[in-house]
Amino acid sequence: MTTPDYNLPAAAREIAALVGPGRRICLTTHVNADGDGLGSEVAMVHLLRALGAAVYVTNPTATPPRFAFLFADIPDADKSGAAVKELRRADAIIVLDITDLPRLGGLADTVRDSGVPVACIDHHVSPGTLPDGPRLVDASAAATGELIYLLAREAGWPVTAAAARALYVALVTDTGGFRFSNTRPRTLRIAGDLLEAGVDPEQVYLDVYAGAPVGRPRLLAEVLQTLVVEEDIGLAWVTVPPGALERHGVDPDDLDGVVEHARSVRRVRLALLFREMSGHRVKTSLRSVGNVNVAELARQFGGGGHAKAAGVAMPGTLADVQATVLAAARAYLRAG
Ligand code: 5GP
Ligand code: MN
């Protein structure tokens, strides 16, 4: 194992000091929470409730149906529908899987003005704009869930089967099923520990990937029809036709993994997925192969993420944003 660039024992001590018996703790993550954000939160609910803290999930957007199973045995834990009210009552806030305040969407102001310590556990490269509090940030971690496992071990918090399952969901989703380059020896060692703690990997697969609404494969079929490939520079992109999510009765979470099909084309080095969001904004998801750094590209437009998986939401029409991002992508690829 390489030496981490953060001080785990210090971070664990500082976070543990916030979460004792009777403390009200709110956990939150980025808009359109994913498996890492939600898995990390649910694991923290189990870990911190066992210490006697009152712990709630307060996210800026609703939990996608795909991840509802994580809350089946903690039905009172997801207070995302009343997030502002809960955040105002919190003794401490723990932000997971992001370091940037704006990614909290409609909750950014509430968290900024909360006046309580705001801890952060994250694996993004980011300037970080959250209010003060303990930090456990390591960009070499495959998932935020990986850091929560290290935190639990360091702090001596028992990892129950329920916490282990949530952390396994975090690892599986953020590594693309242990396929992406963020899969390190440490990631697989932790996955092994989680299986030993009682996780059923096939059941996690069925819960996360095999409970799709019929609209999900139909949407996939429609989006893949839009594939454009510029073979000479290794660029590929797909576009969600306006209104397609509504027509198929699905939500943005159902697009998870679609951009991988664009990345799967031979010699593609940069793959993009465009979709219209509410509020006249367009979201671009960026994925790369090899040494193309998509976080750098996304940052040109105010977005961010990881070297091989990044995203950005920009104001404008679909056609305008597409033209802007494609021009930057071509320039980036041509520059080598
Ligand atoms: P996705 O394309 O799957 O939504 O996101 C891929 C990665 O990029 C994730 O690590 C996510 O945190 C990051 N990301 C996605 N959208 C945004 C965004 O609007 N701003 C920033 N800073 N990062 C984003
Ligand atoms: Mn993550």
Residue with tokens 């194992």: 1
What pLDDT score does 6 carry? 77
Q: Which of the four pLDDT bands, split at 50, 70 and 90, describes residue 2?
A: very low
Atom of ligand 1 nearest to the CA of 174: 10
Q: Is the CB of 37 under 6 A from ligand 1?
A: no
What pLDDT score does 3 carry? 47
Q: What is the pTM of this model?
A: 0.95
| Residue ID of nearest Cα to ligand 1 atom 22 | 304
Would you say residue 88 lies in a domain? yes
Look at residues 21, 7, 27 and name the one whose alpha carbon lies nearest to residue 86: 27
Give residue 311's domain range: 215-334
Q: Are residues 184 and 309 in the same domain?
A: no
Q: What is the CATH number of the domain that holds 31?
A: 3.90.1640.10
Centroid of ligand 1 to alpha carbon of 305 (angstroms): 5
Residue 309's H or E segment, with its range, is strand 309-315
Residue 290 CA to residue 92 CA, distance in Å, equals 40
Q: Which of the four pLDDT bands, split at 50, 70 and 90, describes residue 126?
A: confident
Q: Is the CB of 86 under 6 A from ligand 1?
A: no
Q: Are residues 167 and 259 in the same domain?
A: no
pLDDT tens digits, one per residue of 236-261: 999 999 999 999 999 999 999 999 99
Q: Are residues 149 and 276 in the same domain?
A: no
Decide if 285 contacts 313 (C-beta within 8 A): no
- For the cut 60, the answer to whether the pLDDT of residue 1 exceeds it is no
What pLDDT score does 230 carry? 98
Q: Are residues 87 and 189 in the same domain?
A: yes
β partners of residue 230: 235
Q: Are residues 171 and 230 in the same domain?
A: no
Q: Are residues 174 and 40 in the same domain?
A: yes
Phi-psi region of 228 (alpha: psi -120 to 50; beta: other; left: phi over 0): beta
Centroid of ligand 1 to alpha carbon of 290 (angstroms): 19
Q: Which amino acid is at 243?
A: G
Number of domains in the chain: 2
Atom of ligand 1 nearest to the CA of 97: 12
| Residue ID of nearest Cα to ligand 1 atom 6 | 310
Q: What is the mean pLDDT of residues 85-105?
A: 97
Q: What is the mean pLDDT of residues 107-129?
A: 94
Q: Is the CB of 305 under 6 A from ligand 1?
A: yes
Q: Is the CB of 35 under 6 A from ligand 1?
A: no
Q: Are residues 196 and 263 in the same domain?
A: no
Q: Are residues 247 and 139 in the same domain?
A: no
Would you say residue 2 lies in a domain? no
| Residue ID of nearest Cα to ligand 1 atom 2 | 285
Q: Are residues 196 and 241 in the same domain?
A: no
Tell me the best of 125, 237, 256, 312 to mutate to test the pocket of ligand 1, counting ligand atoms within 8 Å of each CB and taking the most.
Answer: 312
Q: Is the CB of 120 under 6 A from ligand 1?
A: no
- For the cut 90, the answer to whether the pLDDT of residue 45 exceeds it is yes
What pLDDT score does 99 carry? 93
| Residue ID of nearest Cα to ligand 1 atom 14 | 311
Would you say residue 161 lies in a domain? yes
Would you say residue 224 lies in a domain? yes
| Residue ID of nearest Cα to ligand 1 atom 12 | 305
Would you say residue 241 lies in a domain? yes
Centroid of ligand 1 to alpha carbon of 51 (angstroms): 32
Q: What is the share, in percent, of the chain residues with pLDDT greater than 70?
A: 99
- Which residues make Cβ contacts (< 8 Å) with residue 204, sequence separation at least 6? 165, 168, 169, 172
Q: What is the CATH number of the domain that holds 305?
A: 3.10.310.30
**Considering 176, 209, 242, which residue would you say is the last residue of a domain?**
209
Residue with tokens 């704009």: 129
Q: Are residues 36 and 94 in the same domain?
A: yes
**Considering 159, 182, 209, which residue would you say is the last residue of a domain?**
209
Q: Are residues 190 and 288 in the same domain?
A: no
Give CA separation, 165 vs 19, 38, 254, in Å: 22, 12, 21
Q: Is the CB of 262 under 6 A from ligand 1?
A: no
Atom of ligand 1 nearest to the CA of 312: 19
| Residue ID of nearest Cα to ligand 1 atom 18 | 312
Would you say residue 185 lies in a domain? yes
Q: Which of the four pLDDT bands, split at 50, 70 and 90, describes residue 220?
A: very high
Q: What is the mean pLDDT of residues 100-111?
A: 97
**Considering 209, 238, 256, which residue would you say is the last residue of a domain?**
209
Atom of ligand 1 nearest to the CA of 299: 22
Would you state the structure tokens that stand for residue 140, as one six-digit string? Answer: 């070499």
Q: What is the mean pLDDT of residues 122-150?
A: 94
- For the cut 50, the answer to whether the pLDDT of residue 302 exceeds it is yes
Would you say residue 3 lies in a domain? no
Would you say residue 24 lies in a domain? yes
SS3 content of the chain, % helix, strand, coil (to 5): 45, 15, 40
Q: Are residues 160 and 48 in the same domain?
A: yes
Q: What is the mean pLDDT of residues 304-321?
A: 97
Q: Which of the four pLDDT bands, split at 50, 70 and 90, describes residue 125?
A: confident
